[in-house]
Amino acid sequence: MIPILSFSEIIELILKVLIFPGLAFPLLFAMIVIWFERKFLARIMLRIGPLHVGPLNRTGLFQPIADFLKLIQKEIIVPDNAYKILYNAAPIIASIVASMSVAFIPYAPKPDGGYWMIYYTPWSLLVILAIFTARPFIMVGAGWASNSKYCTLGAIRAALQLLAYEVPIALSLVSIVIMSRTFDLAKIVEAQSSIWFIILQPIGFIVILIAMMAELSRRPFDIPLAEQEVVFGWPTEYTGTQFALVMVSEYFDLCAVTSLITVLFLGGWSGPAIPILNDVSPILSGVFWFLLKMAILTVIIIMGRGIYPRLRIDQLLDAGWTLLIPLAIIQIIITLFTAQWWIPLLGGV
């Protein structure tokens, strides 16, 4: 049965789906992050980065737009030996899947109860975990379907990498769930209204940050995309628009991951109310804090590319199984013993 929505609810839904956190937000996020990444890394590397592109003089702010315009003009080449259906579908699926996880993340509480999110479900944490797990399969599928040696190698590496980060992520989520006693992301945020989980579970935060960087294939864990070894990994053969979709999907993923870590460890929207924003709508204030935390996490994740060399796949697997998993288990044990003191202090639930 479809519930009948009032006019204001329809407006709200359109806003959510198309503007924030729906379609426009991840795209804008991707664009800004691409620009910021190039500029920021260039500054680390004693370069200037994009400079002359775009009307805003000497910022190069329009560089991603120029890249995007160029990519959609390019000829689309499908390799002769490729398994065409999967090859053509993979970028689309990747971007859809990547943007899907944003729908389950609460960005701010509404003043009249409920949360500013596209789809509310009490199992949102599990859903997002499931979505994240789908991504390596697309990578493997696309790499296999390209039927190119470098793509296949990249796909194999992506599959291997999955083994390194998936378990630590799941384990460190366990301690969050123990503490907050719910799978509902909104409830998890509310539990942190007095103390953020990053203070209670610093080890868990580090584990999940590292594991998520591996999931995103950011340096030092960009092993499936290692350009010096496997050219560009699984998307090597993609051209033009398809490649644009692949790239954008990566940044969608970055958006989802930073949102998730913000929700889990950094207290989501919690923060002192900003008077000017609060006057317009209390939602904006929450969103502001949320975005600020996301930005900080994004900078941390991007910085990896400037200061670390890439690890080898066996080193990553070693680190995953001998370092991250024990650390996550230690965090679980600590949480189990200390939860009785902390839980009464937590808000919500």
Partner 1 sequence: MLEKIGKSLMNIKLLRKIFNWGRAWSLWSVHLETGCCGPEDMARACARFDTERFGTLPFPTLRECDLIFVTGFVTKKMAKRLKLAYEQMPEPKYVIAIGHCSISGGLWWDSYSVVQGVDEILPVDVYVPGCPPRPEAWIQGIRMLQEKIAKEGLKK
Partner 2 sequence: MSIMKLSMGPQHPITGHFRFILDVDGDLVLKLEPDIGYTHRGIEKLAEKRTYLQNLPLIERVNSYCDSVGTMLGYLEAIEELMGLEVPERAKYLRVIAAELNRIASHLYAACLFSVATGLETMLMWPINDRELILDLLEKLTGQRITYTYPTIGGVRFDMSEGFKEEALKRLDYLEKRTEDYYKMLLWNHTFQIRAKNVGILKPSDAIRLGIVGPNLRASGVKADVRKDEPYEVYDRFDFSIPTGKNGDSYDRLEVRFKEVEQSINILRQAIKDIPKGPIKKWAPPIVPKGEVYTRVEAARGEFGYYIVADGTMKPYRLKMSPPSFRNLIALPYLCRNVPLADVPVIYISLDLIPMDVDR
Q: Least separation, in Å, of the C-beta of 322 and partner 2?
A: 13
- Please identify, among the stretches 42-50, 176-184, 193-201, 275-283, the one whose residues bind partner 1 according to the rule CB under 8 A: 42-50
Alpha-carbon span 156 to 323, nearest angstrom: 23
Q: Are 159 and 151 within 8 A, CB to CB?
A: no
The answer to whether 46 contacts partner 1 (rule: CB under 8 A) is yes
Alpha-carbon span 100 to 259, nearest angstrom: 13
The answer to whether 38 contacts partner 1 (rule: CB under 8 A) is yes
Q: Which residues pair with 109 in a beta bridge?
A: 115
Q: Least separation, in Å, of the C-beta of 114 and partner 2?
A: 45
Q: Least separation, in Å, of the C-beta of 95 and partner 2?
A: 25
Residue type for 337, please? F
DSSP string, 243-256: HHHHHHHHHHHHHH
The answer to whether 120 contacts partner 1 (rule: CB under 8 A) is no
When CB distances are held under 5 to 8 angstroms depending on the partner's kind, the choice from partner 2, partner 1, none that residue 153 binds is: partner 2
For the chain, how long is the longest CA-to-CA vector? Answer: 63
Q: Least separation, in Å, of the C-beta of 49 and partner 1?
A: 6
- 29 phi, psi to nearest 5 deg: -60, -50
Q: Is the dihedral of CA 141, 144, 145, 149 positive or negative?
A: positive
Residues near partner 2 (CB under 8 A): 41, 44-47, 149-150, 153, 156-157, 160, 219-220, 222-223, 226-231, 305-315
In Å, what is the CA distance from 16 to each residue of 21, 169, 280, 334?
Answer: 6, 28, 17, 39
The answer to whether 36 contacts partner 1 (rule: CB under 8 A) is no
Nearest residue (CB) to partner 2, 187 versus 218: 218
Alpha-carbon span 245 to 50, nearest angstrom: 22
Nearest residue (CB) to partner 1, 16 versus 310: 310
Contacts to partner 1 by CB under 8 A: 38, 42, 45-53, 60, 62-63, 65-71, 73-77, 227, 231-232, 235-240, 243
